[in-house]
Amino acid sequence: MLRGVSKRIKSIKFALLSPDEIRKMSATKVITADTYDDDGFPIDMGLMDSHLGVIEPGLRCKTCGGKVDDCPGHFGHIDLAMPVIHVGYVKEIKKLLQATCRKCGRLLLRDEEIRAYEKEMEALDKIGGTKLDKTIMAKETARDAAKRQICPHCDTEQSKITLDKPTTFREDGHKLTPKEVRERLERIRDDDLPSMGINPNVARPEWMILTALLVPPVTVRPSITLESGDRSEDDLTHKLVDVLRINQRLRENRDAGAPQLIVEDLWELLQYHITTYFDNQTSGIPPARHRSGRPLKTLVQRLKGKEGRFRSNLSGKRVNFSARTVISPDPLLSINEVGVPVEAARELTVPLHVQQYNMDWVQELVKRGPLPEGDGYIPGVNYVIRQDGRRIRVTDKNAETVAETVDIGYIVERQLQEGDIVLFNRQPSLHRMSMMAHEVRIMPFKTFRFNLAVCPPYNADFDGDEMNLHVLQSEEARAEAKILMRVQEHILSPRFGGPVIGAIHDHISGGFLMTHRDSKFDMEQSSRILSFVGDLKLPKAGIVEDGVDYWTGKQLFSLAIPDDLNMVFRASICQNCDTCDKEDCESDAYVKVVDGEIISGTVDEKSIGAFNGKILDKIARDYGSDRARTFIDQATKFAIGAIMVRGFTTGIDDEDIPESEKMKIAEILQKAVDGVSALVQAYKEGDLEQMPGRSLEETLEVEAMKKLGRARDDAGNHAGKHLGLENSAVIMARSGARGSMLNLSQMAGCVGQQAVRGERISRGYWNRTLPHFPKGDLGAEAKGFVKSCYKSGLSPTEYFFHSMGGREGLVDTAVRTSRSGYMQRRLINALEDLKVKEDRSVRNTADTIVQFKFGEDGIDPSRSVQGRAVDVDDILRDVLGPKKFATLPDERVVRRYGELEEGMEMTEEEAEGRSGGD
Amino acid sequence: MEHRLVPEHHLVSEKDEGTILEGLKVHRDQLPRIRRNDPCVQLLERKHGPIEEGRVIKIVRLSETSGVSVAYRLVVGR
Ligand SMILES: [Mg+2]
Ligand SMILES: [Zn+2]
Ligand SMILES: [Zn+2]
Ligand SMILES: [Zn+2]
């Protein structure tokens, strides 16, 4: 179906406008720089002449007779007193001047050469050469011709043509006027042009020198009337006024026989004005400015760059039926939902097409008016659109009467209601998960709300982030969004073949607290945890102690897992012991799920986390998106229930270590610092043993870095000894909720060596980093080693070095994001219209094949297992059945996951780093 | 051309061209292109004699995920 498309573009041809054509298409000649007369009416043959179109309502166009909306606007023209070079074509003009004879105007090639090039050009046409191929060909021809010193046709010696940017041509140093240039171009013969890639029928080279200037319609450069009654003209109009004034003066002076110098000056001024009229950022000349000092926005500026016509009006448009506000979290919403503030819901509407079947319901709706009263939120109606397209605003007063008139064929714009499908988006939209379909929940207050498990795909946090919401306006769009774009359909990412939606932060701490070792909950606690999910029955108590019923956390969490799920893997907290004790693991890190029951192990990031959640991954893969959605909803609610029942907090005292240990750490660090001094001493005395392939200086640096790195680790380990799993900060680090042990050891033990460009800090003053140190000091402290920990605080010099290292990190991210953004844009522009066809081939809009099979293997990356086509273990389990599969050596199974861990997995930090955080 | 990163190139016989194009449901000019002066085509020319513009080359690539993947290219001039 063409849907209102009555014509199709088959091809586009670019040509030059000849002066004749300009005059032919011109509605009026413009001769005066004045715009309006004293009564405010446009002056005839002025820049606002009413032949050029109308911008004021009520007036009629003198060319077509149309009113404001009917008249498309018409071009006019200015006859230039003297010819002027068009800046857009200086390159071509230069090429032509260099390639042709200064006397006879022939191409500086022998006839047979010209014919040969012409043939090649034609051949290029036949095999479908692109514009680029032709440009390259033409350049080759021109280069060959320009090499000739003497014309093969008239034996005239050629002189050197140079271009003085932006628009002055010189021949052996003395100026060529645009008039002379034009005369030369006129002399070029039509038959010489095709070999240069020019079709003389539509583009004579002399047309690149302007003798008439096209004046765009007033609709292109409307003037605005300010509140004060003053009229403010468009930048283009201002520029055209300049052109007209100078043109007028030039003509008068020339006709009056003024001295050559004055005429030339005016001529150059005209050239300047016309050049800046086309492009006000032409290099080599100052930009024309407004009275206020602001540079004028002329033709090129309207098109170019991010704010230009292409990127901001054609590639991207502003839309209706959308809303934007701050986001905040709501763990009780399903991942598929989005909370919309009442105020937004009352503005956003869904069109209802009135038919027999919904007539009564729609009339009822309209009767409510735009602000229905009653319990909770009741959707009303803002507008009714009649068959003829007239919009009627529904108010409390007219609601009743409008409802009466509603008839079949009317469109009623109903306010948003619970369950509507909307698109939700956070910029930068780097992947398809940046825009997903949610179901609406109307809520009080002023923010959009959604489940925390959906933060990773949007890369959102709640430090003030805003997001956009779009209401779909057609039945097809809603169906498509629901099937293809719903959040639950994007749990598995096509980026790395694992889940992107899943538990984060407190969900993971909660899962840990709930299931680690033998954590148990009494009747009240268990009921509370389960009540977050609702509609769940408390199973039989797992433990009875002193006649009191207790439920294990593993037991409760298992309620969220499908009953026939079986799997084995290692949790985040796994210590990677040399020999794994499996079910009897010291740290309860061996997760074993049999028939949907957690037999052993702790639920943490590796189980339910976004990016690495194995249980989540398996459910999404084997049980489908519906089951995966319920799993995420329930598991995260359990985790939050558990964390709230137990309570969880972290503070600076989580990094407390005993005084004795602090002494020990200080000792270790002092030893390392002394060690480095010894190395420096050895280096200075020439006793340092040089490493193969390294200079003496490099050897020292490497040794020092090694020594200090080890010291930092040692200090960290000593501090870590006193930070056990009863410590909240450690729970978060080990379970993968947030932070790392390195962060902790930097807080409690030692921050360590600061580096700029991967080396110890060496820049600053002459022969030293800071004036606090002696010149030539190569010791640890003088080169950026931070002995202190964050908790005790840094010394002034340490603080300075730390800032240097920190600054590098900031600069890196800034550079990375801008570079990857540009790369992304280029990739998208190149790939945006490729499509996978029914036969799985990838084709472009011309239907030519780009790939014979999508990705050359036909594999949907979002259905792959961490990028691999199949999961061998899974197939084995299917074929052998869970019983027999269990008899296979577990080592093999676990190791397979182990392999993946090292090579392919992505941490949250990494993922953040890839797209650049907020 | 013995290098493991250079995929196998084969000249498709003129009588097989029809079936292949039909199988892919494409016209000849919808295929991706390969230049006549591509080293791989020149190597094939050594074996089969001159290869005219418009002939089809079959390229067999090894793939980690799908074993082999087959692609076709149309020989063009220059
Ligand atoms: Mg933020
Ligand atoms: Zn008109
Ligand atoms: Zn000549
Ligand atoms: Zn273990």
Residue pLDDT, tens place only, A745-774: 999 989 999 999 988 998 899 999 999 999
Residues 6 or more apart from A81 whose CB is under 8 A from it?
A: A247, A250, A251, A254, A270
At A650 the pLDDT is: 93
Where does A786-889 have alpha helices with state H? 796-831, 872-887
Q: Is A141 helix (H, G, I), strand (E, B) or coil?
A: helix
- Identify the band that residue A911 occupies on the pLDDT scale cut at 50, 70 and 90: very low
CA-based nearest residue in chain A for residue B59: A852
Q: Which of A325-334, A534-543, A603-612, A785-794 is predicted least confidently?
A: A534-543
Condensed to tens digits (0 to 9), the pLDDT of residues A614-644 reads 999 999 998 999 999 999 999 999 999 999 9
Residues 6 or more apart from A778 whose CB is under 8 A from it?
A: A680, A683, A700, A704
Share of chain A above pLDDT 70, in %: 95
Q: Comparing A479 with A907, which gets the higher pLDDT?
A: A479
Neighbours of A860 (CB within 10 A): 13
Condensed to tens digits (0 to 9), the pLDDT of residues A52-86 reads 888 878 778 888 888 888 888 899 999 999 999 99
Q: Which of A139-148, A178-187, A319-328 is predicted least confidently?
A: A139-148
Instruction: Enter the tokens of residue A320.
Output: 């209706």
CA-based nearest residue to A725, from A713, A735, A717, A716? A735
- Identify the band that residue A401 occupies on the pLDDT scale cut at 50, 70 and 90: very high
At A731 the pLDDT is: 93
Strands in A584-719 per DSSP E: 590-594, 597-600
The stretch A819-824 carries a mean pLDDT of 88
Compute CA B5 distance to the chain's CA centroid, rounded to the nearest angstrom. 16
Task: Give the CA distances from residue A155 to residues A94, A105, A150, A151, A394, in Å, rounded to whole numbers and listed in that order.
Answer: 21, 12, 6, 5, 85
Condensed to tens digits (0 to 9), the pLDDT of residues A255-287 reads 988 898 999 999 999 999 999 999 998 888 899
What's the CA dihedral at A524, A526, A528, A534 to 10 degrees? Answer: -130
Q: Is B60 helix (H, G, I), strand (E, B) or coil?
A: strand
Inform me whether the pLDDT recorded for A181 exceeds 60. Answer: yes
Contacts of A162-171 with C-beta under 8 Å, sequence gap 24+, read A163/A90, A163/A94, A165/A90, A165/A283, A165/A284, A166/A87, A166/A90, A166/A275, A166/A282, A166/A283, A166/A284, A166/A285, A167/A85, A167/A87, A167/A90, A167/A271, A167/A275, A169/A85, A169/A93, A169/A94, A169/A97, A171/A102
At A882 the pLDDT is: 64
At A484 the pLDDT is: 95
Inform me whether the pLDDT recorded for A907 exceeds 70. Answer: no
Burial A469-494 (b: 16+ CB within 10 A, else e): bbbbeeeebbeebeeebbbbbbbbbe
- Chain B neighbors of A856, CB-CB under 8 A: 61, 63, 66, 69, 71
Neighbours of A788 (CB within 10 A): 18
Condensed to tens digits (0 to 9), the pLDDT of residues A695-743 reads 888 999 999 999 999 999 999 998 888 888 889 999 999 999 999 999 9
Inform me whether the pLDDT recorded for A893 exceeds 50. Answer: no
Inform me whether the pLDDT recorded for A905 exceeds 50. Answer: no
Q: What gap in Å lies between CA A621 and CA A615, rounded to an integer? A: 10
Where does A319-459 have alpha helices with state H? 342-347, 359-368, 399-405, 455-458
Q: Comparing A915 with A360, which gets the higher pLDDT?
A: A360
At A448 the pLDDT is: 97
Q: Comparing A144 with A477, which gets the higher pLDDT?
A: A477
Condensed to tens digits (0 to 9), the pLDDT of residues A98-119 reads 889 888 888 888 888 888 888 8
Contact A848 B76 (CB under 8 A): no
Inform me whether the pLDDT recorded for A435 exceeds 80. Answer: yes
Condensed to tens digits (0 to 9), the pLDDT of residues A8-61 reads 888 888 899 999 999 999 989 998 888 888 887 888 888 888 888 888 787 788
CB pairs under 8 A between A and B: 47
Angle A178-187/A90-99 helices, nearest 10 degrees?
60
Q: What residues have a C-beta under 5 A from ligand 1, the ion?
A: A 461, 463, 465, 918
Are β-strands A755-756 and A752-753 bridged in parallel, bridged antiparallel, or unpaired? Answer: unpaired
Contact A856 B26 (CB under 8 A): no
Q: Comparing A37 with A519, which gets the higher pLDDT?
A: A519
Angle A696-721/A659-685 helices, nearest 10 degrees?
170
Residue with tokens 């990773």, as numbered in its chain: A456
Inform me whether the pLDDT recorded for A908 exceeds 80. Answer: no
Are the CB atoms for A53 and A221 separated by under 8 Å?
no
Inform me whether the pLDDT recorded for B1 exceeds 80. Answer: no
- Decide if A835 touches B, using CB distance below 8 A: no
At A211 the pLDDT is: 93
Q: What gap in Å lies between CA A753 and CA A798, rounded to an integer? A: 10
- Identify the CATH class of B8-76: alpha beta
The stretch A649-675 carries a mean pLDDT of 92
Inform me whether the pLDDT recorded for B65 exceeds 90. Answer: no
Q: What residues have a C-beta under 5 A from ligand 2, the ion?
A: A 61, 63-64, 66, 71
- Chain B neighbors of A848, CB-CB under 8 A: 26, 29-32
Instruction: Enter the tokens of residue A670.
Output: 């002092």
Q: Which helix (H) or strand (E) holds A734?
A: helix A728-735
Which sequence spans correspond to the domains of chain B? 8-76
Query: Which of B32, B66, B76 shows the shortest C-beta gap to A858?
Result: B66
> Is the peptide bond preceding residue A166 cis, with omega within 30 degrees of 0?
yes
At A42 the pLDDT is: 82
Which ligand minimizes its atom distance to the CA of A576?
Answer: 4
Are the CB atoms for A501 and A487 separated by under 8 Å?
yes
Instruction: Enter the tokens of residue A305.
Output: 């760059």
Q: What gap in Å lies between CA A608 and CA A332, rounded to an integer? A: 17
Are the CB atoms for A785 and A752 separated by under 8 Å?
yes
Q: Comparing A132 with A575, which gets the higher pLDDT?
A: A575
Q: What gap in Å lies between CA A390 and CA A385, rounded to an integer? A: 6
Condensed to tens digits (0 to 9), the pLDDT of residues B6-61 reads 899 999 998 999 999 998 888 888 899 898 889 999 999 998 888 888 899 999 98
Inform me whether the pLDDT recorded for A909 exceeds 80. Answer: no
Inform me whether the pLDDT recorded for A891 exceeds 60. Answer: no
At A888 the pLDDT is: 65
Distance A108 CA to ligand 3 centre (A): 7
Q: Which of A121-135, A168-182, A254-268 is predicted least confidently?
A: A121-135
What's the CA dihedral at A325, A329, A332, A333 to 10 degrees? Answer: 40
> Sheet holding A168-171: strands in order across?
A161-164, A168-171, A174-176
- Chain B neighbors of A128, CB-CB under 8 A: 29
Are the CB atoms for A422 and A338 separated by under 8 Å?
yes
At A128 the pLDDT is: 61
Inform me whether the pLDDT recorded for A665 exceeds 50. Answer: yes
- Decide if A172 touches B, using CB distance below 8 A: no
Inform me whether the pLDDT recorded for A120 exceeds 50. Answer: yes
Query: Which of A841, A846, A869 shows the shortest C-beta gap to B65?
Result: A869
Sign for the CA dihedral angle at A392, A395, A401, A403 comes to positive
Q: What gap in Å lies between CA A276 and CA B70, rounded to an integer? A: 55
Concatenate the DSSP letters of all residues of A349-384 into one string: EEEEE--TTTHHHHHHHHHH-SS--SSS----EEEE
At A351 the pLDDT is: 96
Preferred mutation among B12, B30, B34, B72 to probe A, highest tally of A CBs within 10 A: B30
Where does A155-223 have alpha helices with state H? 178-187
Q: What gap in Å lies between CA A641 and CA A633, rounded to an integer? A: 12
The stretch A527-534 carries a mean pLDDT of 90
The stretch A364-377 carries a mean pLDDT of 91
At A789 the pLDDT is: 92
At A580 the pLDDT is: 78
Inform me whether the pLDDT recorded for A901 exceeds 70. Answer: no
A141 to chain B, minimum CA–CA distance in Å?
17
At A895 the pLDDT is: 39
At A898 the pLDDT is: 37
Condensed to tens digits (0 to 9), the pLDDT of residues A307-324 reads 889 888 888 888 999 999
Q: What gap in Å lies between CA A103 and CA A808, rounded to an integer? A: 62
Average pLDDT, chain A: 88
pTM of the model: 0.79
Find the chain B residues whose C-beta atoms sit closer than 8 A to any C-beta of A: 24-26, 29-32, 53, 61, 63, 65-66, 69-72, 76-77
Q: What gap in Å lies between CA A904 and CA A497, rounded to an integer? A: 10
Q: What gap in Å lies between CA A69 and CA A791, rounded to an integer? A: 70
Set out the domains of chain A in order of their start, with CATH numbers: 87-205 (no CATH), 322-490 (2.40.40.20), 506-646 (1.10.274.100), 652-811 (1.10.132.30), 830-915 (no CATH)
The stretch A669-686 carries a mean pLDDT of 91
Inform me whether the pLDDT recorded for A251 exceeds 70. Answer: yes
Q: Is B62 helix (H, G, I), strand (E, B) or coil?
A: strand
A851 to chain B, minimum CA–CA distance in Å?
8
Distance A301 CA to ligand 2 centre (A): 26
Share of chain A above pLDDT 90, in %: 54
